[in-house]
A and B are shown apart, each in its own frame.
Chain A
Amino acid sequence: MSYQFPKRVLRTGDVLNPRDLTEDFAPAADLVSGKLNAHNFNQTLGSPSVTVDRRAFYSVDGVLTTPVPFHWTGSTPGAFGYPDDTTIDAGMFQLQNNFEWQALNTSVLDFSVALTTGTAVLWINAYVQYLWFGFNPAWGTWSQNVLTNQHRNYASQSPVNLQFALRVNGNVVEETITGIDDITYRASVPIKPEDPSAYAGLPGPQDLLGRQISSLGPACLPVRLGACVPVQPGDQLVEVVCRRVPFTDRAYGSFFPGYGQYDVVFMYSRQIHVTELKMFPVDSVTSVEVSAPAFSDEAPLSQATLYTQRLQPIVSAYNSIDVGSVQRGALTHSQVPSTLLDSATTEQLYATDAGPIFNNYFPGHNDDTVTTTGFSGAPGTGWKLITDASNNNPVRITGFTVTDKCQILVLANLRVRNISALLEQTSGDETLYAGNFAAFALFKLMWQYSGSGPTTWNGVEASTGMVNNFVWWPRYDVNSSPIGAVTGPNLQAGIENVEVALMAVLDFTATAPTGPINLGVFGSVANDGTNYQISAGNIIALAYR
């Protein structure tokens, strides 16, 4: 109801009639009985002192985080080897090698989020780490001065061909499919004849046909997905699904184009975070009624009938407004306080075409050992906060202050320019080199209370992401004949420029943080000789009520 005004002003000598008297009180009682709207409130409601239900602006019921560690052939920092394909535990999801969308459920984990909403937009963030089994640097043979195959399933030469997507209520959100819907898609190699008609070929433009590029290629990668999905009232089911795209073209024709018996892809750590941004929420408030009964003819006028039965309840209702007095959708942006308890970000650009290099050792899963030595001939053991080469300008949020119980969503990105390691073999008086395909860099989000020491951090295990040296040096790039002028592998040919997108959810809903916290992005390598290079990174944090 909007503004209200009395229909008459009582004057001395006026005859009191029941209708006028009723209309003096009834509209005010009617208004405070669940019809107060934006016009009735001033903007002080937007002050932080107003109590806000933690579900008033959004709900974050849909949260699922599952850390699933890799199983390594080694167990010593600097010598973890590669993920062991003989050890499988119940948390790992094995993808079927077919083109059906598969939810990433296992016998011990229903990897889906179910929630009940009103009309809303679901802001979904999800995270999955995958790995294609078969890493083994000793698998291939040195040929043409390079180790031709370093992965049992030929991942060094063929793509893993995965597509991930979000699925909401059984419908795949096509805007999230990590690929191209035409699975046979092949573009042309951009080496273009200047005059195609100049030779005796077919008529018209001629192209070099490119490769099948409809799905993800790297053998080991963390994948983060996101979407804003409008939903109708009711039960909602949010899942991450994955499928293996059939080969229609495999780079090396001597291999069977299908997937072999031992050709398996597993999913490791995975997370879903769903924020219900409310549009028309389900009723949550019990209505109230304030009564100001009509006066009847010849009813006596007394303190009881005028004040106690009518004015007093109305005044009391306005002086102590109940949640049920307020109309649905009454409050506008100026009448609500900040929706988040805090938010912060840090962005770092180290170099557009370079960046700090790290070679610190991965300490192991569920191990939050931190080192401050990023790159050294004697590498540090532990996670290293991503900084520049001088240990400055970290990808870190400091002094993130939340004094209430809350949930904190952390999203981070790193532009990992390069992951590199050398495999070498002596042949006669030559040293042969290849980029080590099984060189792994791992990344993790961690937090600490502000003021803690530089090595006192708490890791979020489910955020662990790993990527391998999937761009390895080409075969001609060796220190040998006939390319005598090239003195060694050229790092430029093996640049990954891969995006590592991490995600973590910090749960302080039971106990509020005891002080400001810092949030940082850390990295490490699995094996001695591996290093990783970061060109840029950023981290954001949102504290939900």
Chain B
Amino acid sequence: MATIVPSTTYPDGSAISVAGHNANIYSTTSGEGIFSEPNGGIGVVNLGASFSIKDEHVMSEEATMARMDSSVIATDIYNNAFGVRDDQDASYVPIAGLSERVFFPYDMSTVIWQWSFFVAGWIPYLLQYQTGNWDTGEAQFRLFIDGIEHSAFRRKLPISGDLVIDWADTSSSPTEYELQYSGGTSINKEQNETLWFDISKLQKNVSKGYHELVVKLYLPRVVFSGEEDELTVQAGTADFATNGSEEDMIECTVHQRVTLGTRNVRCIAFK
């Protein structure tokens, strides 16, 4: 729009210019009409020298917006609770409370995603007593935004279970493992390794529409030294019941566990 220039200034002693008066009020010609020009035509040139956009001028959520979703329900996730997936699919199980779906009604110049979670994992370090062979469990948190993984945000957990295993039989070709350090205390350091993750990611030039952040957990089965089968050990029943004994052995499978406490996801978007 141009600035408004009056078509007539109604000079004294002259008849009113009908066309001029009408153009002063409404015109389809740019630069005319005190009714017509403000009909969507006010632009930068019309702003006063001291004009600046103030906070109350801006419609709510038309410049910035923020969302947060969360869960504070403690959740234990065991690798065998997923069902067995032999394909070792890297994009695994979404975690409740660590996902958020947001609608942007217009293109955003900058979007900040933040996700936080408290986690206590039981991730084993496995050592075979006589051979020195070792292996570790693994838990991976993976970030997906709009279905695409962002690998710089993969996170793992510390080793928290020390699991020493012995041959359970003395034959020349032993086939079974025995849990050597039993009783829980010496194999469990999860209490020391509870952690808080707070991670931020920035995206630029995000188009309008729905966008979704999902943190997924990859928690594979525990195998040992390249074996195909899930690790099983012999453990004394005393580990599981007060009236058990160290001598009475029971077959156990070894799994991994991830316990999640408070978690939340934030999305802060800037036009």
Q: Does B254 lie within 8 Å of A493, measured CB to CB?
A: no
The reply on B136 being an interface residue by CB < 8 A is yes
CB neighbours (8 Å) of A345 from chain B are 201-204
Q: Does B268 lie within 8 Å of A123, measured CB to CB?
A: yes
Kindly specify which of A77-85, A90-98, A104-112, A175-183 makes contact with the partner chain.
A175-183
The listed residue (A185, A217, A535) touching B193 by CB distance below 8 A is A217
Q: Does A157 lie within 8 Å of B250, measured CB to CB?
A: no
Mark interface residues in B150-174 (1 if CB within 8 Å of A CB, else 0).
Answer: 1111111111111010000000000
Q: Please count how many residues in chain A sit with their CB below 8 Å of the partner chain's CB atoms.
A: 171
Given contacts A195-B251, A217-B194, A470-B192, is CB(A52)–CB(B241) below 8 Å?
A: no
The listed residue (A55, A181, A318) touching B42 by CB distance below 8 A is A318
The reply on B50 being an interface residue by CB < 8 A is yes
Q: Does B10 lie within 8 Å of A339, measured CB to CB?
A: no
- How far does the alpha carbon of A187 sit from the alpha carbon of B42 in the complex, in Å? 64
Q: Does A474 lie within 8 Å of B162, measured CB to CB?
A: yes
Q: Does B270 lie within 8 Å of A227, measured CB to CB?
A: no
Show 18 residue pairs from A and B whose CB-CB distance is below 8 angstroms, ordered by the A residue.
A53-B53, A56-B54, A181-B261, A188-B76, A189-B257, A190-B79, A190-B256, A211-B191, A249-B191, A252-B185, A303-B10, A307-B9, A312-B9, A321-B46, A343-B202, A348-B152, A493-B127, A495-B136
Q: Does B60 lie within 8 Å of A499, measured CB to CB?
A: no
- How far does the alpha carbon of A138 sit from the alpha carbon of B58 in the complex, in Å? 62
Chain A min CB distance to B16 (Å): 7
Beyond A45-B43, A218-B195, A340-B270, 12 extra complex contacts between A and B, CB < 8 Å: A24-B25, A42-B40, A176-B262, A181-B261, A187-B259, A189-B257, A319-B46, A323-B48, A340-B110, A343-B202, A349-B151, A487-B132
Q: Does B250 lie within 8 Å of A195, measured CB to CB?
A: yes
The listed residue (B21, B58, B198, B244) touching A200 by CB distance below 8 A is B244
- How far does the alpha carbon of A415 sit from the alpha carbon of B200 in the complex, in Å? 12
The listed residue (B21, B159, B190, B268) touching A210 by CB distance below 8 A is B190
Chain B min CB distance to A137 (Å): 17
**Residues from 405 to 424 in A contacting B, C-beta threshold 8 Å:** 411, 413, 415, 417
Nearest A residue to B197 via CB reads A499
Interchain pairs with CB closer than 8 A, number: 491
Mark interface residues in B47-70 (1 if CB within 8 Å of A CB, else 0).
Answer: 111111111111111111111101
CB neighbours (8 Å) of B158 from chain A are 471, 495-498
Q: Does B257 lie within 8 Å of A56, measured CB to CB?
A: no
CB neighbours (8 Å) of A16 from chain B are 16
Mark interface residues in B244-271 (1 if CB within 8 Å of A CB, else 0).
Answer: 1000101111111101011010101011
CB neighbours (8 Å) of B59 from chain A are 38, 329-332
The reply on B82 being an interface residue by CB < 8 A is no
The listed residue (B37, B49, B150, B155) touching A347 by CB distance below 8 A is B150
Chain B min CB distance to A436 (Å): 15
Given contacts A45-B43, A180-B262, A211-B190, is CB(A322)–CB(B50) below 8 Å?
A: yes
Given contacts A159-B191, A280-B60, A340-B110, is CB(A413)–CB(B54) below 8 Å?
A: no
CB neighbours (8 Å) of A208 from chain B are 184, 239-240
Which of B54, B55, B197 has the largest number of chain A CB atoms within 10 A?
A: B55
Q: Does A322 lie within 8 Å of B51, measured CB to CB?
A: yes
CB neighbours (8 Å) of B233 from chain A are 191
Q: Does B185 lie within 8 Å of A251, measured CB to CB?
A: yes
Q: Does B162 lie within 8 Å of A415, measured CB to CB?
A: no
- How far does the alpha carbon of A238 sit from the alpha carbon of B65 in the complex, in Å? 20
The reply on A306 being an interface residue by CB < 8 A is yes
The reply on B130 being an interface residue by CB < 8 A is yes
CB neighbours (8 Å) of B186 from chain A are 475
**Residues from 14 to 30 in A contacting B, C-beta threshold 8 Å:** 16, 24-25, 27-28
- How far does the alpha carbon of A499 sit from the alpha carbon of B157 in the complex, in Å? 10
Mark interface residues in A492-523 (1 if CB within 8 Å of B CB, else 0).
Answer: 11111111010000000000000000000000
- How far does the alpha carbon of A176 sit from the alpha carbon of B37 in the complex, in Å? 51
Kindly specify which of A2-10, A265-273, A442-450 makes contact with the partner chain.
A2-10
The reply on A439 being an interface residue by CB < 8 A is no
Q: Does A36 lie within 8 Å of B38, measured CB to CB?
A: yes
Chain B's interface: helix, strand, loop or mixed, by majority?
mixed
- How far does the alpha carbon of A216 sit from the alpha carbon of B120 in the complex, in Å? 9
Q: Which 9 A-B pairs have the closest CB atoms?
A: A485-B132, A201-B241, A190-B255, A180-B261, A213-B120, A211-B191, A175-B70, A345-B202, A206-B240
Chain B min CB distance to A77 (Å): 28
CB neighbours (8 Å) of A413 from chain B are 198-200
Q: Does B198 lie within 8 Å of A501, measured CB to CB?
A: yes
- How far does the alpha carbon of A340 sit from the alpha carbon of B108 in the complex, in Å? 11
CB neighbours (8 Å) of B47 from chain A are 50, 320-321
Q: Please count how many residues in chain B sit with their CB below 8 Å of the partner chain's CB atoms.
A: 137
CB neighbours (8 Å) of A182 from chain B are 74
Nearest B residue to A119 via CB reads B60
The reply on B147 being an interface residue by CB < 8 A is no
Given contacts A201-B241, A329-B59, is CB(A194)–CB(B34) below 8 Å?
A: no
Q: Does B120 lie within 8 Å of A499, measured CB to CB?
A: no
The listed residue (A158, A415, A492) touching B155 by CB distance below 8 A is A415
Q: Does B253 lie within 8 Å of A192, measured CB to CB?
A: yes
- How far does the alpha carbon of A49 sit from the alpha carbon of B53 in the complex, in Å? 11
Q: Does B152 lie within 8 Å of A338, measured CB to CB?
A: no
Nearest B residue to A327 via CB reads B57
The reply on A452 being an interface residue by CB < 8 A is no
Chain A min CB distance to B174 (Å): 15
Q: Does B156 lie within 8 Å of A497, measured CB to CB?
A: yes
The reply on B214 being an interface residue by CB < 8 A is no
Chain B min CB distance to A226 (Å): 5
CB neighbours (8 Å) of A44 from chain B are 43-44
Chain B min CB distance to A480 (Å): 12
- How far does the alpha carbon of A528 sit from the alpha carbon of B252 in the complex, in Å? 44
The reply on A67 being an interface residue by CB < 8 A is no
The reply on A235 being an interface residue by CB < 8 A is no
CB neighbours (8 Å) of A158 from chain B are 191-192
Q: Does B250 lie within 8 Å of A40, measured CB to CB?
A: no
Q: Does B6 lie within 8 Å of A540, measured CB to CB?
A: no
The listed residue (A31, A215, A307) touching B194 by CB distance below 8 A is A215
Q: Does A178 lie within 8 Å of B118, measured CB to CB?
A: yes
- How far does the alpha carbon of A483 sit from the alpha carbon of B5 in the complex, in Å? 96
Given contacts A175-B262, A191-B254, A194-B232, is CB(A39)–CB(B40) below 8 Å?
A: yes
- How far does the alpha carbon of A176 sit from the alpha carbon of B127 in the complex, in Å? 37
The listed residue (B56, B109, B194) touching A343 by CB distance below 8 A is B109
The reply on A389 being an interface residue by CB < 8 A is no
- How far does the alpha carbon of A206 sit from the alpha carbon of B195 in the complex, in Å? 27
CB neighbours (8 Å) of A180 from chain B are 74, 118, 259, 261-262
- How far does the alpha carbon of A105 sit from the alpha carbon of B270 in the complex, in Å? 33
